[in-house]
C-alpha cells in the first residue's frame, strides 16, 4: 500500500500555538533561551522546506515502507472481541500491528524521518533523549542507516532499566550519556539534550515525542502520521469504512497522534487516549497528566498541561517507562480541551495482567505500554460498544524489552 | 527613576562599571543563602538571584546542581521573595536585586501576583530565560513590570540575528541588556572578548544609552577587568556558585560560608573598572 501525501488538518499559528477559541487558551509555542533561537530557526525552516520538497518526501516514504516496514497488518481479534462481550453486542475489535516495525514500536517512523531531515539539512550529528530507550534505539538505528553520529541523553535511573534497548543502541554505535540531574528520568534527560543543543549548534536535536518547542510537536506528529495515513487506507479496504473508535496509549502523545491524526476532523470516529494511572490516580503515584489533574505550565519549550509540584515539575510514576512523562504534547492537550479526544486510564497492575492475558490467550508479547490501552479499550467497549461497530486498538510496540520485568511478575503471581 | 537606572546614572558619573554576582536563591539552604546574599551586598551593585527550576534548559551542570540543592531544601518563589525581602530589610544598602528564572515558576505563582510581589518587595529587575520575544506572556510581563518601574532584561548571544537583537533591545526596559560572551551554557567556556566587543558595539549602535551587562564564563579578576572595559555590568555566576558548593561540602556554618564566598566575590568586584 502506498503512502498518500501529507495534508495539514490542524495547523498551529505561525508561532506554533494551537488555540482553543472558546477560552483563548494557547498550547505550544517556543519558550526557549535566546541562545537556542538560531538553532531552532534552522530546523524550523528546514522542516517546512523538506515537507514541500517532493523528491525528499518521495524518497522518505519509500524508505519508511522498505526499511521501517510501515505497512504492518491490521487484524481482527475474535478473542478480544469475545472478552469485550462478543461481536453481536459490541462489534469487532481490530489491532494495528505497529509492533512489527523495524525496532518494534511507533518511534522509528518519526526517528527515521527526523534523521533524514538532519541529513537533508547538512547536519553530521544528532542529539536526542530517551526514557524507555524506544526512541533512543530507533534514532540509533536511523543514524546508523544514514551515516550520522549520535549522542543519546538518558536519565541515570532509566538507564538501569530496559537494558536490551540500551545495548541495541550501543551496538548501533550511539554514544550514551547518563543524566544525573533532578529525578534522573526522561524530563531531565530532555532538558539535558536541549542544553547540549545550545552548546552544539552543529548538531540537530531530535525529540522522541510530540513535545518540546515549536516546530518539534508539529514536526514529530507530521512525520509520525504516516502510521495513521496508512491505517486509514488499510481499514477502509478491510471493512469498507472508517473505524467507529480508535484507542491509543498516551504518555507524551506521539503514539496517539501517529494513528489518530488523519481522523481528527472526522467526528464520527471517536478517539480515546489511555494514560497510565500507575498505582492509582488517588495515590498521586501516576503518569496521567490529563486524568490526574495536570495544570497549564511551561516546560521544555512548550506551554501545555503539566503535573506540577509548586513551581516545579512533579515526578510522574508508572512502571511503563514509555509513559513516564509529567506533561503532554501541546496539540494533544488542545484536542482534549476542545473535547475531540476522550481520556481513560489503566493502572500498572491492570496493564501487567493484560500483558499476561495477551501472552497466554492471544499469543502476542506486547509492549507494556500497549497493555494499558488494550485493558482500557476492552473496558470501554464493554460499556459503550454497539453491534456492527468496528473498534481499532493501536498495538504500538513489542514487549521484548519488558521480558525480564514480566518474568518477575509471572514468578510472583504463580 | 527605577532602581537600576539610578545605579547606572551614578556609575556613569563615576565612570565605573557595575558588578553583578549570581547565586541560586536558597542554595544550599535558606539560612546560608540569606547570609551569603547579605554578605554579597557589601561587594555587589547587583545581585542576580536565580529562582531554581528543575527542568532548566539553559544552565550548566554547576547551576543545575545548585538548583537541585535549593529545591531539596524546599525553595520556591514565595520563599525567594521572603528571602530577598529580609536581605533588603536587614542590609539597608543600595544593592539592586534581580530575579532570574524560567517562565514556569512565574506562571504557576501567577503572572500578575509575581509583578505585584516584585514591586512590593523592591525587586529591581527580572530576567526570564525562556520567555520568547513574541509570547503573550512577554507582553504582560514587560508592560506590568515597566508600569511598576521594575527592570526587564532580555538576553542576546553572538549567534542571534540583527533583527532578534533589535527586538531584544526594544523589550529591555529600565534595565541592562544581557550579552552572553559565547553561544553555549552558563560557565561552560571561557570569555570570548571579541564577541563582547562586537555585541556591545552593536547594542550601542541601535540604542546609545542601553546599559550592557556581560556574562557567561567570567571567572577571574583579570577577566572581570578586561570585560569591564566594554560592559556597563560584569556578571559572574558559575564560579561563585562553585564556591558555595565547596564551602557547603566543607560543612561551613552559614556565617562562615557567607564570608568564604564573599571573599571571592570581593576580589572579582574590586576588579571592575
Residue B109 burial by CB count (10 A; 0-12/13-18/19+): exposed, middle or buried?
Answer: buried
Angle at B263 between CA B257 and CA B269, to 5 degrees: 130
Q: Are B19 and B42 in contact (CB under 8 A)?
A: no
Partner residue facing A30 (CB), from B54, B132, B156: B132
The position carrying cell 476492552 is: A378
What is the model's pLDDT at position B159?
92
Say if the Cβ atoms of A191 and B164 lie within 8 Å.
Answer: no
Distances (CA, A) of A37 to A100, A211, B131: 38, 17, 11
Query: Taking CA atoms, what residue in A is nearest to B64?
Result: A181
Q: Does B190 touch chain A (CB under 8 A)?
A: no
Measured between alpha carbons, how far is A303 from B254 in angstroms, rounded to an integer?
38
Q: φ, ψ for residue A319 (rounded to 5)?
A: -80, -5
Put simply, the answer to whether B107 touches A312 (Cβ < 8 Å) is no
Is A300 in CB contact (< 8 Å) with chain B? yes
pLDDT tens track for B71-123: 999 999 999 999 999 999 999 889 999 999 999 999 999 999 999 999 999 99
Which residues pair with residue A275 across a beta bridge? Answer: A345
CB contacts, 8 Å: A201 with chain B: 159, 183
Q: Report DSSP state, residue A388.
A: T
Q: Do A297 and B55 touch (CB under 8 A)?
A: no
Do B132 and A35 make contact, defined as CB atoms within 8 angstroms? no
Task: Say which of A30, A33, A299 has its CB closest to residue B55.
Answer: A299
From the CA of A290, how many Å to the nearest CA of chain B? 17
Work out the angle at residue B148's Cα, subtended by the Cα atoms of residues B146 and B149, and round it to the nearest 5 degrees.
60
Q: Quick one: which H or E segment has residue A390?
A: strand A390-395
Residues 6+ apart with CB under 8 A from B194: none
Contacts with A166 (C-beta within 8 Å, 6 or more apart), sequence order: A133, A136, A154, A159, A176
Minimum distance, in Å, between the CA of residue A34 and any CA atom of chain B: 6
Place of cell 520485568: A405
Q: Which of B54, B59, B183 sits opposite A312 (nearest CB)?
A: B54
With a CB cutoff of 8 Å and minimum separation 6, the contacts of B263 are: none
pLDDT over 90 percentage in chain A: 86
pLDDT in tens, B42-68: 999 999 999 999 888 888 889 999 999
Is residue A68 a contact partner of residue A114, using CB atoms and an 8 Å limit?
A: no
For chain A, say whether B54 makes contact (Cβ under 8 Å). yes
Is B159 within 8 Å of A38 (Cβ atoms)?
yes
B95 vs B16: CA distance, rounded Å: 15
Beta-carbon separation of A312 and B102 below 8 A: no
For the segment A281-286, the average pLDDT, to the nearest whole number, is: 94
CA A250 to chain centre: 7
ipTM tops the 0.85 cut: yes
Instruction: Return the sign of the alpha-carbon dihedral for residues A102, A134, A323, A257.
Output: negative
Would you give per-residue pLDDT tens digits along chain B (273 residues)? Answer: 889 999 999 999 999 999 999 999 999 999 999 999 999 999 999 999 999 998 888 888 899 999 999 999 999 999 999 999 999 999 988 999 999 999 999 999 999 999 999 999 999 999 999 999 989 999 999 999 999 999 999 999 999 999 999 999 999 999 999 999 988 877 777 888 999 999 999 999 999 999 999 999 999 999 999 999 999 999 999 999 999 999 999 999 999 999 999 999 999 999 998
Q: Does A28 touch chain B (CB under 8 A)?
A: no
Judging contacts by C-beta atoms under 8 Å, the chain A residues touching residue B155 are 33-35
Residue A30: phi and psi, rounded to 5, are: -140, 85
Residue among A35, A295, A298 minimizing CB distance to B157: A35
Asked if residue A128 has pLDDT above 80, the reply is: yes
Q: Which residues of B touch A181 (CB under 8 A)?
A: 54, 61, 64-65, 68
DSSP letter for A153, please. Answer: E
Tell me the pLDDT tens digit for each residue of A352-408: 999 999 999 999 999 999 999 999 999 999 999 999 999 999 999 999 989 999 999
Q: Which residue ranges form the domains of chain A, and what is each CATH number? A: 32-65+106-221 (3.40.50.1100), 69-104+225-412 (3.40.50.1100)
- Tell if the CB–CB gap between A300 and B68 is shorter than 8 Å: no
Question: Which residue of B53, B105, B108 is the best one to mutate when testing the A interface, meaning the one whose CB has the most A CBs within 10 A?
Answer: B108
pLDDT of the residue at A162:
67
Average pLDDT over chain A reads 95
Q: Cα B208 from chain centroid? A: 22
Q: Looking at the predicted structure, is the pLDDT value of residue A183 above 90?
A: no
Closest to B268 in 3D by CA, of B8, B12, B19:
B19
Residue A196: how many CB atoms within 10 A of its CB? 19
Check whether A275 has a pLDDT greater than 80: yes
Distance of alpha carbon A325 from alpha carbon A318, whole angstroms: 9
Nearest by CB to residue A297, choosing from B52, B104, B132, is B104
CB contact under 8 A, B102 and A298: yes
B226 interfacial to chain A (CB closer than 8 Å): no
B28 preceded by cis ω (within 30°)? yes
Question: What is d(CA A230, CA A228) in angstroms, rounded to the nearest whole number?
Answer: 5
Q: Does the beta carbon of B156 lie under 8 angstroms from any beta carbon of chain A?
A: yes
- Is the distance from CB of B238 to CB of B187 less than 8 angstroms? yes
Pairing type for strands B18-24 and B46-50 reads: parallel
What does the alpha-carbon distance between residue A194 and residue A200 come to, in Å, rounded to a whole number?
Answer: 10
> Nearest to residue B26, comparing CAs of B114, B99, B89?
B99
Instruction: Inspect the interface and report whether the beta carbons of B160 and A30 lie closer than 8 Å.
Output: no
At B131, phi and psi to the nearest 5?
-90, 110
B73 burial class (0-12, 13-18, 19+ CB within 10 angstroms)?
middle
Nearest to A130 by CA among A138, A120, A121: A138
Q: What angle do the packed helices B30-40 and B254-269 form, to 10 degrees?
A: 30
Give the helix/strand (H/E) hosting B23: strand B18-24
Tell me: pLDDT of A237 over 70. yes
* B102 contacts on A by Cβ (under 8 Å): 298
Are the Cβ atoms of A191 and B157 closer than 8 angstroms?
no
DSSP summary character for residue B218: -
- List of chain B residues whose C-beta atoms are within 8 Å of the C-beta of residue A300: 55, 57
- The answer to whether B49 touches B42, Cβ cutoff 8 Å, is no
Q: Identify the pLDDT of residue B61.
A: 86
- What would the mean pLDDT of A93-111 be, rounded to a whole number? 96
The structural domains of chain B, ordered by start, are 3-8+18-268 (3.20.20.70)
* CB contacts, 8 Å: B71 with chain A: 182, 312
Contact, B155 vs B57, CB < 8 A?
no
- Residue range A92-114: mean pLDDT, rounded: 97
Torsion sign, CA atoms A272, A277, A281, A285: negative
Q: Which residue of B has its CA nearest to A24?
A: B136
Tell me how far apart the alpha carbons of residues A46 and A31 are, in angstroms, rounded to a whole number: 20
CB contact under 8 A, A308 and B108: yes
**Chain B interface includes A407 (CB < 8 A):** no
- Please give the DSSP secondary-structure letter assigned to residue A361: I
Chain A residue with minimum CA distance to B154: A34
- Name the E strands within A234-326: 245-249, 270-276, 295-299, 302-306, 308-309, 312-313
Low-confidence winner among A129-133, A192-196, B81-85, B233-237 (lowest mean pLDDT): A129-133
Contacts of A12 in chain B (CB under 8 A): none
Q: A35 vs B159: CB contact, 8 Å cut-off? A: yes
Amino acid at each position: 500500500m502506498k503512502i498518500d501525501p501529507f495534508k495539514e488538518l490542524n495547523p498551529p499559528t505561525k508561532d506554533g500555538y494551537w488555540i482553543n477559541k472558546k477560552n483563548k487558551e494557547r498550547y505550544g509555542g517556543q519558550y526557549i533561551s535566546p541562545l537556542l533561537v538560531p538553532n531552532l530557526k534552522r530546523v524550523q525552516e528546514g522542516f517546512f522546506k523538506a515537507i514541500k520538497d517532493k523528491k525528499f518526501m518521495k524518497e522518505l516514504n519509500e524508505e519508511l515502507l522498505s526499511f521501517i516496514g510501515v505497512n504492518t497488518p491490521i487484524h481482527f481479534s475474535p478473542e478480544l472481541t469475545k472478552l469485550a462481550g462478543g461481536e453481536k453486542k459490541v462489534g469487532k475489535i481490530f489491532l494495528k500491528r505497529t509492533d512489527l516495525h523495524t525496532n518494534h514500536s511507533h518511534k522509528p517512523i518519526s526517528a527515521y524521518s527526523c534523521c533524514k531531515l538532519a541529513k537533508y539539512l547538512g547536519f553530521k550529528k544528532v542529539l536526542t533523549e530517551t526514557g524507555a530507550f524506544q526512541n533512543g534505539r530507533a534514532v540509533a538505528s536511523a543514524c546508523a542507516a544514514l551515516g550520522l553520529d549520535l549522542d543519546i541523553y538518558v536519565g541515570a535511573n532509566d538507564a538501569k532499566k530496559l537494558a536490551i534497548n540500551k545495548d541495541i543502541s550501543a551496538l548501533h554505535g550511539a554514544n550514551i550519556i547518563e543524566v544525573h540531574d533532578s529525578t534522573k528520568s526522561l524530563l531531565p534527560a530532555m532538558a539535558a539534550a536541549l542544553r547540549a543543543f545550545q552548546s552544539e549548534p552543529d548538531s540537530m536535536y531530535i525529540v522522541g515525542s510530540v513535545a518540546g518547542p515549536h516546530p518539534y510537536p508539529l514536526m514529530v506528529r507530521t512525520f509520525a502520521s504516516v502510521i495513521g495515513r496508512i491505517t486509514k487506507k488499510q481499514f477502509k479496504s478491510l471493512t469498507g469504512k472508517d473505524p467507529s473508535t480508535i484507542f491509543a496509549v498516551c504518555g507524551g502523545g506521539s503514539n496517539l497522534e501517529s494513528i489518530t491524526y488523519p481522523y481528527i476532523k472526522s467526528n464520527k470516529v471517536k478517539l480515546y487516549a489511555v494514560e497510565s494511572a500507575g498505582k492509582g490516580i488517588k495515590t498521586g503515584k501516576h503518569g496521567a497528566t490529563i486524568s490526574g489533574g495536570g495544570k497549564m505550565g511551561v516546560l521544555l519549550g512548550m506551554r501545555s498541561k503539566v503535573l506540577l509540584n509548586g513551581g516545579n515539575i512533579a515526578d510522574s510514576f508508572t512502571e511503563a517507562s514509555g509513559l513516564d512523562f509529567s506533561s503532554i504534547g501541546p496539540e494533544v492537550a488542545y484536542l482534549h480541551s476542545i473535547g475531540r479526544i476522550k481520556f481513560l486510564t489503566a493502572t500498572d497492575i491492570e496493564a501487567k495482567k493484560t500483558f499476561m492475558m495477551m501472552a497466554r490467550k492471544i499469543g502476542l508479547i506486547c509492549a507494556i505500554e500497549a497493555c494499558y490501552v488494550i485493558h482500557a479499550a476492552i473496558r470501554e467497549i464493554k460499556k459503550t460498544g454497539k453491534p456492527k461497530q468496528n473498534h481499532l486498538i493501536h498495538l504500538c510496540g513489542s514487549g521484548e524489552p519488558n521480558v525480564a520485568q514480566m518474568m518477575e511478575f509471572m514468578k510472583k503471581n504463580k | 527613576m527605577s532602581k537600576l537606572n539610578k545605579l547606572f546614572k551614578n556609575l556613569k558619573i563615576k565612570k565605573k562599571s557595575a558588578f553583578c554576582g549570581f547565586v541560586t536563591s536558597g542554595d544550599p539552604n535558606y539560612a546560608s543563602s540569606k547570609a551569603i546574599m547579605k554578605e554579597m551586598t557589601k561587594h555587589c551593585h547587583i545581585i542576580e538571584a536565580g529562582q531554581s527550576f528543575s527542568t532548566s534548559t539553559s544552565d550548566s551542570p554547576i547551576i543545575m546542581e545548585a538548583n537541585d540543592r535549593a529545591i531539596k531544601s524546599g525553595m520556591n518563589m514565595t520563599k525567594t521573595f521572603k528571602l530577598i525581602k529580609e536581605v533588603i530589610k536587614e542590609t539597608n544598602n543600595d544593592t539592586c536585586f534581580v530575579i532570574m528564572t524560567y517562565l514556569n515558576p512565574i506562571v504557576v505563582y501567577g503572572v500578575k501576583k509575581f509583578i505585584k510581589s516584585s514591586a512590593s518587595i523592591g525587586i529591581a529587575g527580572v530576567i526570564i530565560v525562556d520567555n520568547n520575544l513574541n509570547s503573550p506572556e512577554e507582553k504582560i510581563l514587560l508592560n506590568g513590570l515597566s508600569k511598576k518601574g521594575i527592570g526587564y532584561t532580555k538576553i542576546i548571544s553572538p549567534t542571534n540575528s540583527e533583527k532578534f537583537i533589535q527586538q531584544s533591545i526594544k523589550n529591555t526596559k529600565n534595565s541592562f541588556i544581557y550579552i552572553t560572551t559565547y553561544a553555549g551554557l552558563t560557565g561552560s567556556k571561557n570569555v570570548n572578548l571579541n564577541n563582547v566587543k562586537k555585541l556591545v558595539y552593536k547594542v550601542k549602535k541601535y540604542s546609545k544609552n542601553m546599559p550592557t551587562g556581560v556574562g557567561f564564563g567570567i571567572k577571574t579578576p583579570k577577566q572581570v577587568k578586561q570585560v569591564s572595559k566594554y560592559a556597563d555590568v560584569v556578571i559572574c555566576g558559575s564560579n561563585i556558585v562553585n564556591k558555595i558548593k565547596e564551602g557547603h561540602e566543607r560543612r561551613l556554618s552559614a556565617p562562615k560560608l557567607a564570608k568564604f564566598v564573599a571573599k571571592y566575590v570581593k576580589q572579582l568586584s574590586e576588579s571592575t573598572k
